[in-house]
Structure 1
Amino acid sequence: MKCPFCQSEDTQVLDTRVSEEGDSIRRRRRCAQCDKRFTTYERVELTMPVVVKKNGSRIDFDPGKLRGSLQLALRKRPVPAEAVDAAIHRIEQKLLSSGAREVLSGQIGELVMRELQRLDKVAYIRFASVYKSFEDVAEFQDAIAEIGSERKPKSPS
């Protein structure tokens, strides 16, 4: 680790502590050349896969776009913000745990559809109509029938 004051590479670690949250390590260092002290932090760096769009171009994964898509589909629907945050987290975790360096935009779309189907059926139909480019009413009816067949029968009271 280079000293931020004199740029010497000869530094010593004086003290190491794990943060209260347990997600980083704090190291107190001293430069052997200028004798100044400084602190460094060590954190895990996870990188999301690059998104390969339909036209073949590649862009960095943007959680803001993911949130925007979900919020647009869920507009004026009774879904709490915490549920949306949890859905975004699940999608990000699936992408990270895949270990892939690249992911097709269509795969992200499928993950979004699964989460919307879990959160709100109307939002799912909204998103699916755009994502799957519905051409006519029959495709809407098919999608509605598909989620209707997934419903569990009500138990008698």
Structure 2
Amino acid sequence: MSSHEAISPEELALLYDEHSAAVHRLAFSLLSQRQEAEDLTHDVFVRLQRGGFDSNRGEIRQYLLLLTRSMGLNRINKHRNRRRILERFRPAHCQQDPIDLQAVDSRFRLEQALAQLSSREQQILAMNYHQDISQSNIAASLQLPLGTVKTISRRALLKLRHALSSQEEN
């Protein structure tokens, strides 16, 4: 098989017979659903038939498994992003309630502002405000001095306030 050329149907059939079980096993381990794994396996071999495999760069089996992993992770991310979008616009309590676009916008701006914080700042604020854990218990669980937790929390809240007020000005 020469590099970067489309694969003939006969070659594809042979490669499918030889490698489809391994591709399907990996697809199923990533996606955990039989139909999704079968679809991914099919899509991997369709992609292979179109070309792109370079025999000078490695073995076909490694290429197929790498392609399966990459395409599988793309599907997972696509589903996750779709779910996030649907959850963001789905009313929380009743499906017939209108969507509160102002609340959606506020939530989006808050998430943008939170993304600007360090992971430690996000963690402490989440523990304090989402999980309702006291600062002294946060300090104990993170093995930090209480003063450090208070300082990080205060600075993070100031950063949030600044980020949100900057967004309102724009």
TM-score calculated relative to the size of structure 1: 0.32
Structure with the greater relative contact order (CA < 8 A, sep ≥ 6): 1 or 2?
A: 2
Normalized per residue, which structure has more strand? Answer: 1
TM-score calculated relative to the size of structure 2: 0.30
Normalized per residue, which structure has more helix? Answer: 2
